[in-house]
Amino acid sequence: MALFGTDGIRGVANQELTPELALSVAISAARVLVADLGNREARPRAIVGNDSRASGELLEAAVIAGLTSAGVDVHRVGILPTPAIAFLVGDTEADLGIMISASHNPMPDNGIKIFARGGEKLSDKQEARIEELLNQPWERPIGAHVGRVINDADATERYLAHLLSSVSTKIAGLKVVVDCANGAASIASPEALRRAGAEVIAISHQPTGWNINDDCGSTHLGNLQEAVKREKADLGIAHDGDSDRCLAVDGNGEIIDGDQIMAILAIGALRDGTLRENTVVATVMSNLGFLHAMRDAGVKVITTQVGDRYVLERMLQGNFSLGGEQSGHLILRDFANTGDGILTALALLQEMKRSNKSAAELASLMQRYPQVLINVKNVDKAKLAHSAAVAQAIGDAESKLADNGRVLLRASGTEPLIRVMVEAQSDTLASEIANSLAKVVEQELR
């Protein structure tokens, strides 16, 4: 099984993702991303941060040991969002960055996300090369060539200044509840929103090391919905554990997902003439309602495979300014090269002020189609492209749905399963077709 998944390396901390593995990954990353390692006047530099998981402490120690043993100076920034690490790598012209986080996963998990120069995510080729070099012999630096560790006390303020540089419309007068998932956004998000002018009520913003994503954040929106209604707030914002995503809740407590946020921002940017090439980049999992809303607004949509790094690759190719995923990973390329939940929140609040519309009014620009996703496990993924029976079933489903629905079957990149996704005008029809397709997949690909 490949070490890297859709977004870095993840596993149960100290069981699958061990300190030994973190050490080896850090060394390999330095060897791959610093091409002139050991043969340069200025020592290479890395930014290392983590979310609020207790296991981040032991993995951070291993990552720092690996980097410094490879001759890399490490700037340790502590608990900060993943997009802050990406920003700091680019802002300080560091050679690489490592974020220790498992994003929205439960507390026992942890992960490693690696950024190359400029704060960009790794290519498939770079990830493959890092895996190839794991535990391979190499020439270790000694003496004065061993890396040093610098505790960077200014990193949070630099990141906050970067976030606030995106604010051209003050959001004074808006009341916001922000759910920080007891994670990496617990300080930065409420502070950024307050400095931008909003009245802010923070919840799930007291991390203990054990409570990250625990019945809170972007994967558990119930507390936020209740708080928004109780506080009579204009908007609720939910981050995940490392704050690279943003979901929202309107003043009525209704959820606004990543597709809807992207539609709101796209239509606003189109109005203001700031949507480059009148195009957004989304993934194949984006809701059909999003595609229809963009079509009706005159915005072109380019789709990629799932994963915000694939979205970014396509955005860079076409010099597009907006892209993202239904999960709330939105890339605002005028300000960042990775998903940033706090930037997204600031952009959404500014659009509310510019349009003089409520979040509910803005979200109504897109009608979300019911979507059913079924994971068919323990199947032979390689057979999917060659099964006539599955192809026939897909064709029948698409004929039945016509322009009022969509079918997508895709193999998991890391597990022996096929994801069957169906969108339709009703939950009943979507479930009926999805279950029918899942049965065919199970029968034909076992």
Question: What residue segments make up the domains of the chain, in order of their start?
Answer: 9-153, 159-363, 371-445
pLDDT at residue 352 tops 70: yes
Percent of the chain with pLDDT over 70: 98
Cα distances from 248 to residues 169, 253, 289, in angstroms, run 19, 9, 17
- The pLDDT-based confidence of 162 (bands split at 50, 70, 90) is very high
Measured in residues, the chain has a length of 446
Provide the 3-class DSSP secondary structure of residue 247: strand
CATH architecture, domain defined by 159-363: 3-Layer(aba) Sandwich (3.40)
Domains 9-153 and 159-363 share a fold: yes
Would you say residue 391 has pLDDT above 60?
yes
Residue 111 predicted with pLDDT over 90: yes
| pLDDT confidence band for 58 (50 / 70 / 90) | very high
pLDDT at residue 414 in the model: 63
* C-alpha closest to that of 110 among 240, 15, 232: 15
pLDDT over 60 at 38, yes or no: no
CATH superfamily to which 9-153 belongs: Alpha-D-Glucose-1,6-Bisphosphate, subunit A, domain 3 (3.40.120.10)
Residues serving a catalytic function are 103
Give the CATH number of domain 371-445. 3.30.310.50
Q: Give residue 192's pLDDT.
A: 98
pLDDT of 41 > 70? The answer is no
Which is nearest to 446 in space by CA: 404, 387, 391, 393?
387
β-bridge mates for residue 247, sequence order? 238
User: What confidence category does residue 82 fall into, taking pLDDT thresholds of 50, 70 and 90?
Assistant: very high
Instruction: Tell me the whole-structure pTM to 2 decimals.
Output: 0.90
Q: How far apart are CA 346 and CA 237, in angstroms?
A: 10
Confidence at 135, pLDDT banded by 50, 70, 90: confident
Whether pLDDT at 37 is above 80: no
CA distance 238 to 205: 11
Burial class from Cβ neighbours inside 10 Å (0-12, 13-18, 19+) for residue 255 reads middle
Greater confidence, 178 or 412?
178
Query: Which helix (H) or strand (E) element contains residue 236?
Result: strand 235-239
- In this prediction, residues 253-268 reach a mean pLDDT of 97
Query: Any bridge partners for residue 421, and if so which?
Result: 373, 408
92 CB-contact burial (10 Å; exposed 0-12 / middle 13-18 / buried 19+): middle
